Amino acid sequence: MPQYILKRLLGTLGVMFVIAILAFFFVHMLPGDPVRMLAGEDATLQEMEIIRQKLGLDLPLHQQFYIFLVNLLQLDFGNSLISGDPVYDVLADRYVLTAKLTLVCLWFIPAGIVLGVIAATHKSKFLDRACMIFSVSGISVPEFWLGLILIQIFAVKLQWFNPTGFQSWADLTLPAITIGMMGTAIIARFTRSAFLDVLSENYIQTARAKGVKRFNVTYVHALRNAMLPIITVIGLQIGFILSGSIVAEAIFGLPGLGSLLIESVVARDYPVVQTLLILYSFHFVMINFIVDVLYTVINPQVRLK
Amino acid sequence: MSSTTTSQSVSPFELFLRRFKREKLAILAGSILLIMVLMAIFAPFFLSQGLNDFDYDKILMPPSAENWVGTDLYGRDLFTRLVYGARISLSVGFLSVTFGALLGSVLGIMAAYKGGWLDTIIMRAADVLFAFPSFLLAIAIVAVLGGGIVNVIIAIAIFSTPTFARITRSSALAVLNSQYVRAATTMGASHFRIMFVHILPSTIGGILVYFTMRVGTSVLTAASLSFLGMGAQPPSPEWGAMLASSRDFIAVDGYMYLTLYPGLCIFLTVLCCNVLGDGLRAALDPK
């Protein structure tokens, strides 16, 4: 087990290294000269040369990359081109809100599983159809549109919530519904098919035959075995919450990482964009790593391979 | 294979058609998509108004018999704009996935057929692209290339490529050692011929299913990017851009129709693609 985790951890580090390389070249691929952008339109060549040296852009590429990596490990991401503040400080302010939002959005996990189980245990009946119609709609609905409609109905018309901004946890209700919808729909689909596979197994028939209660058969015997494929999908979906929050934060005017990313892309604030790309992929990769480890806890067979 | 219709000697394609005919919902979804495409192509022939016909006497009119889904801030008929918007949204969805599918399936087949270091490089590159959530990747690419509809197509094509490569690779591997591929090799067929005449057709099924669903996702992604101001810009009737301009009115009660209909168009397109894709999958791979 520790050996397996170590192996996966090394793989994860490898991916992170490649991501760091990509993020490094990201800034070098950008159209235009970053020095010119920093120095402004009417800077002299001399002034530009000073800035170039200050940023270390006159060094050979491999040295630049080494410095970039060392800074990265020390959480020094450079300064924002717009505000001039260290990127770290800019991010820290926004991080907490996105973390809260992600936490609230996890409602999609139980909701999706319950819907999927209901659909599977009522296969081909009305409840199954209803759950699956909900599911395919949830996968197809444009998130930003759903958000706008929810604002118009629940914030503008009924005035139950504030349309935008963040003052209290209640303000995260509509964003959480918006972001979680897709995840719920996808988990429901996967749970249904994983469950149907398990329900036809012999040990389920045996449990039923020996008189185990219906609820116990469903939630103790079947669910546990159906969980394996579901966990993978849950992991992926948590990753997608991160990108889902980009759009939702923009709609609901939440000052989190997502709206920061959009502001920075539009304003061409590249150090911030670069750091956000690294941060987002770091989360995504770590979630995948945790899912893989969880997998071995649930299914010991994986470890043996 | 003979063309008699006994149950043993039906071609896989006929079998697929027979099964697909039973997927009523998928046929309905496909028909709706077809109607949307036809409407988009022949828009000027049946619409009485032009895309940018301003009418300042009819600003922000709610849906009526004359303007089915209302008018916008400049008195332009929204239905007209939605139909013209379909031209942009549908072609962005279709083109981007087509590029992604072409590139991905060529890479996937090459990875499977050549194996070795080429396989490793292609599949590791795919893994790295998978390490980014796809929407984030699209934003990153647009950040490098700049906004605009062409760059959105490129961005979506790039992040669609690795999945197509994976799907094609795995179905190509499945037939790589089959007798007919070995027979072709023995008869001296060129690598190119083996890859694209003998192996490619057997991978089409998986590609087709994913292609259909991916068109929906791409319409959605393109609209999201336009909505965020990174794709098509507001005078354009692209659905996401229309939604973006409707945002100015969301805080006022009574203008929901501005938001409702462009979103419904996106929703309907994506829904139909997903249902059609499900139906194709069921017909290709019945369990």
Q: Are residues A62 and A109 in the same domain?
A: no
Which structure tokens are listed for A242?
Answer: 């991160």
Q: Are residues A59 and A125 in the same domain?
A: no
Closest chain A residue to the Cα of B223, Cα to Cα = A142
Whole-prediction pTM:
0.84
Q: Show the tokens assigned to B213.
A: 């669903």
Average pLDDT over residues B179-207: 86
| pLDDT at residue B1, rounded to an integer | 43
Total domains in the fold of chain A: 2
Question: Where is average pLDDT lowest: A103-107, A196-200, A257-261, B107-111?
Answer: A196-200
- Say yes or no: B252 contacts chain A, CB-CB below 8 A: yes
Tell me what pLDDT residue A34 has. Answer: 65
pLDDT, position B7: 54
Q: Are residues A166 and A270 in the same domain?
A: yes
Mean pLDDT of the region B204-211: 88
| pLDDT of B171 over the 50 cut | yes
pLDDT band at B2 (very low <50, low <70, confident <90, very high): very low
Residue A191 and residue A287 share a domain: yes
Residue at which a domain ends, from A41, A76, A95: A95
Q: Per CATH, the architecture of B32-284 is what?
A: Orthogonal Bundle (1.10)
Do A51 and A184 have their domain in common? no
Residue A255, SS3 per DSSP: coil
Q: What is the CATH classification number for the domain harbouring A183?
A: 1.10.3720.10
Where a domain ends, among A95, A116, A135? A95
pLDDT-derived band of residue B40, with 50, 70 and 90 as boundaries?
confident
Please give the average per-residue pLDDT across A217-230, as a whole number.
80
CA distance A136 to chain B (A): 7
Tell whether A238 lies on the interface with B, counting CB pairs under 8 A.
no
Q: Does B221 touch chain A (CB under 8 A)?
A: no
Structural domain that includes position A59: 2-95
Cβ distance A247 to B228 less than 8 Å, yes or no, reads: yes
Q: Which residues of B touch A247 (CB under 8 A)?
A: 135, 224, 227-228
Which residues touch A191 (CB under 8 Å, ≥6 apart)? A112, A113, A115, A116, A117, A119, A120, A226, A230
Residue A241 and residue A118 in one domain: yes
Q: Of A55, A77, A95, which one is at a domain's C-terminal end? A: A95
Phi, psi of B72 (to 5 degrees): -100, -165
| Distance (Å, whole) CA B112 – CA B123 | 10
Query: Above 70 in pLDDT, residue B3?
Result: no
For residue A287, the model assigns a pLDDT of 84
Question: Do residue A187 and residue A264 come from a single domain?
Answer: yes
pLDDT at B97: 94
CA distance A189 to A172: 26
Residue B103's pLDDT is 94
The helix-helix angle for A270-298 and A87-105 (nearest 10°) equals 40
In chain A, what residues touch B273 (CB-CB under 8 Å)? 140
Quickly tell me which residue has 């028939």 as its tokens.
Answer: A205
Grade residue A64 by pLDDT with cuts at 50, 70 and 90: confident
Q: What is the mean pLDDT of chain B?
A: 84
Nearest to B263 among A15, A142, A268 (CB): A142
> Regarding predicted confidence, which is higher, A7 or A116?
A116
Q: At residue A277, what are phi and psi to the nearest 5 degrees?
A: -60, -45
Task: Tell me how far CA of residue B176 lies from CA of B1, B117, B194, in angstroms.
Answer: 21, 18, 10
Distance CA A263, CA A91 (A): 13
Is A304 a residue whose pLDDT tops 60? no
Q: Does A186 lie in the same domain as A133?
A: yes
Reported as a single tens digit per residue, the pLDDT across A96-108 is: 888 888 888 888 8
What span, in angstroms and rounded, lies between the C-alpha atoms of A62 and A84?
A: 26
The predicted pLDDT at position A13 comes to: 85
- Taking contacts as CB-CB distances below 8 angstroms, the residues of chain A near B230 are 262, 265-266
Q: What is the pLDDT of residues B212-232, one digit of tens each?
A: 989 998 999 999 888 888 888
Hey, are the CB atoms on B131 and A15 less than 8 Å from each other? yes
The whole-number pLDDT of residue A32 equals 63
Residues A26 and A87 in one domain: yes
Are residues A149 and A46 part of one domain? no
Q: Are residues A206 and A65 in the same domain?
A: no
Could you tell me if A247 lies within 8 Å of chain B, comparing CB atoms? yes
To test the contact with chain B by mutation, choose from A144, A251, A259 the residue with the greatest count of B C-beta atoms within 10 A, namely A144
Residue A33 has pLDDT above 70, yes or no: no
Q: pLDDT at position B4, please?
A: 46
Reply yes or no on whether the pLDDT at B42 is more than 80.
yes
Do both A111 and A218 map to the same domain? yes
Range list of H helices, chain A = 2-29, 34-39, 45-55, 61-73, 87-105, 108-121, 126-140, 143-150, 173-199, 202-209, 214-216, 223-251, 257-267, 270-298, 301-304
Give domain limits for chain B: 32-284
CA distances (Å), origin A214, targets A140, A195, A210 = 33, 14, 11
Q: What are phi and psi of B76, to 5 degrees?
A: -80, 140
B137, B146 Cβ separation under 8 angstroms: no
pLDDT digits (tens, 9 = 90+) for A256-284: 888 888 888 877 777 888 888 888 888 88
Size of interface A-B (CB pairs under 8 A): 124
C-alpha of B129 from chain center: 19
Mean pLDDT of A239-249: 82
Q: Given an 8 Å threshold on Cβ–Cβ distance, is A145 in contact with B266?
A: yes
- Quote ipTM for the complex: 0.81
With beta carbons less than 8 A apart as the criterion, state whether A134 and A185 touch: yes
Percent of chain A with pLDDT over 90: 4
- Confirm if A183 and A286 have CB atoms less than 8 A apart: no
Distance CA A295, CA A301 (A): 10
